[in-house]
């Protein structure tokens, strides 16, 4: 699942997938801004068939945390 997220994030942040790690964040990804993060959220919702609530996203500070949230949401869909 992280590989799918990594590819989506790389496309949105205009980086290579290898540059995207679980620790990737606005602090170490220069192209990570609020507009691109919103684009990432929308792309992930479409890719995984999920809907996120604002309170879900408030605590996301890294790509790894976002991956964990996606896994939690997917587990709840079963």
Of 3.40.50.2000, 1.10.443.10, 1.10.1200.10, 3.40.190.10, the CATH number of 2-76 is 1.10.1200.10
Coil, helix or strand at residue 74: helix
Dist CA 25 CA 63 (whole Å): 6
> Is 0.75 topped by the overall pTM?
yes
pLDDT tens digits for range 47-64? 999 999 999 888 899 999
> What is the pLDDT averaged over residues 17-28?
97
pLDDT tens digits for range 1-16? 899 999 999 999 999 9
Q: How far apart are the first and last CA of the chain?
A: 16
């Amino acid at each position: 699942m992280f590989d799918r997220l990594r590819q989506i994030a790389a496309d949105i942040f205009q980086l290579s997938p290898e540059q995207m790690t679980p620790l990737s964040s606005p602090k170490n990804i220069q192209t990570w801004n609020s507009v691109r993060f919103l684009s990432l959220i929308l792309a992930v919702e479409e890719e995984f068939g999920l809907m996120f609530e604002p309170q879900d996203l408030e605590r996301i500070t890294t790509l790894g945390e976002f991956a964990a949230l996606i896994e939690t949401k997917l587990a709840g869909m079963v």
